[in-house]
Chain A
Amino acid sequence: MKLTGAEILIECLKKEGVETIFGYPGGVVLNIYDVLYDSDIRHILVRHEQAAVHAADGFARATGKVGVALVTSGPGATNTITGLATAYMDSIPIVVISGQVPTGLIGNDAFQEADIVGITRPCTKHNFLVKDVADLARIMKEAFYIAASGRPGPVLVDLPKDVVVSSTKFSYPESVSLRGYNPNYEGHPGQIKKAVAAIMEAKKPLIYAGGGVILSNASAELTALAKKLDIPVTMTLMGLGGFPGSDPLSLGMLGMHGTYCANMAVTECDLLIAVGARFDDRVTGKVDEFAPGARIIHVDIDPTSISKNVKVDIPIVGDVKRVLAKWLELIDKENISGRDEEIKPWLDEIAGWRAHHTLSYEKTEEIKPQYVVEMLREVTGGDCIISTEVGQNQMWAAQFFTLDKPRCWLTSGGLGTMGYGFPAAIGAQAAFPGKTVIDIAGDGSIQMNIQELATVVQYKLPVKIAILNNRYLGMVRQWQELFYGKRYSHTVMDYAPDFVKLAEAYGALGLRATKPEEVREVIEKGLAHDGPVIMDFQVAREEGVYPMVPAGVALSKMLLA
Chain B
Amino acid sequence: MRHTITVTVENEFGVLSRVVGLFSGRGFNIDSLSVAETMDPTVSRMTIVTRGDDQIIEQITKQLNKLVNVIKVVDLTMGDYIGREMVLVKMNANEKTKAEILRLSEIFRGKIVDVSPSTYTIELTGDDGKIKAALELLQPLGIKEIVRTGRVAIQRGSVSA
Chain A residues at the B interface, C-beta cutoff of 8 Å: 117-118, 121-122, 125-126, 129, 131, 146, 178-181, 302-304, 307-308
Contact = CB atoms under 8 A, between A and B. Distances in A.
A307 B71 contact: no
Contacts of B65: 303
Nearest to B9: A180
Contact of A304 (B10, B14, B25, B66): B66
Interface residues of B, number: 21
Nearest to A121: B21
A544 B55 CA distance: 38
Interface of B: 9-10, 13-14, 17-18, 21, 25, 55, 58-59, 62-63, 65-72
A308 B62 CA distance: 10
A180 B67 contact: yes
A126 B62 contact: no
B4 to A, nearest CB: 20
Given A180-B9, A304-B63, 4 more contacts: A118-B14, A146-B68, A180-B67, A303-B65
A110 B55 CA distance: 45
A532 B62 CA distance: 46
A125 B18 CA distance: 11
B62 A304 contact: yes
A93 to B, nearest CB: 14
Contacts of A118: 14, 17
B55 A121 contact: no
Given A121-B18, A122-B21, A308-B59, A303 B13 contact: no
A145 to B, nearest CB: 10
A125 B58 contact: no
Contacts of B58: 307
Nearest to A151: B66
B13 to A, nearest CB: 6
Contacts of B18: 121
B62 A125 contact: no
B17 A121 contact: yes
A520 B72 CA distance: 59
Contacts of B21: 121-122
B73 to A, nearest CB: 9
Contacts of B69: 180
A322 B67 CA distance: 24
B59 A304 contact: yes
A187 to B, nearest CB: 16
B13 A180 contact: no
Nearest to A117: B14
Contacts of A126: 68
Contacts of B68: 125-126, 146, 178, 180-181
Nearest to A305: B62
Nearest to A183: B66
A180 B10 contact: yes
Contacts of A304: 59, 62-63, 66
A32 to B, nearest CB: 22
A178 B15 CA distance: 14
A178 B9 CA distance: 11
A126 B58 CA distance: 22
A146 B55 CA distance: 27
A190 B31 CA distance: 38
Contact of A303 (B9, B14, B62, B71): B62
Return the 8 tightest CB-CB contacts between A and B, nearest first: A180-B71, A304-B62, A126-B68, A180-B70, A122-B25, A181-B68, A303-B62, A179-B71
B13 A129 contact: yes
Given A180-B10, A308-B59, A303 B66 contact: yes
A125 B72 CA distance: 18
17 contacts: A117-B14, A121-B17, A122-B21, A125-B68, A178-B68, A179-B71, A180-B10, A180-B67, A180-B70, A180-B71, A181-B68, A304-B59, A304-B62, A304-B63, A307-B55, A307-B58, A308-B59
Contacts of B14: 117-118, 121, 129
A181 B13 CA distance: 17
A180 B11 CA distance: 12
Contacts of A308: 59
Contact of B66 (A117, A131, A302, A307): A302
Nearest to A122: B25
Nearest to B55: A307
A180 B65 CA distance: 8
A180 B68 CA distance: 6
Contacts of B25: 122
Contacts of B17: 118, 121
Contacts of A307: 55, 58
A303 B66 CA distance: 8
B157 to A, nearest CB: 25
A394 to B, nearest CB: 26
A516 B6 CA distance: 65
Contacts of A129: 13-14
Contacts of A125: 68
Contacts of A302: 66
A307 B66 CA distance: 15
A435 B65 CA distance: 41
A437 to B, nearest CB: 34
Contacts of A303: 62, 65-66
Contacts of A122: 21, 25
A308 B58 CA distance: 9
A118 B17 CA distance: 8
A42 B13 CA distance: 33
A178 B67 CA distance: 11
A121 B25 CA distance: 10
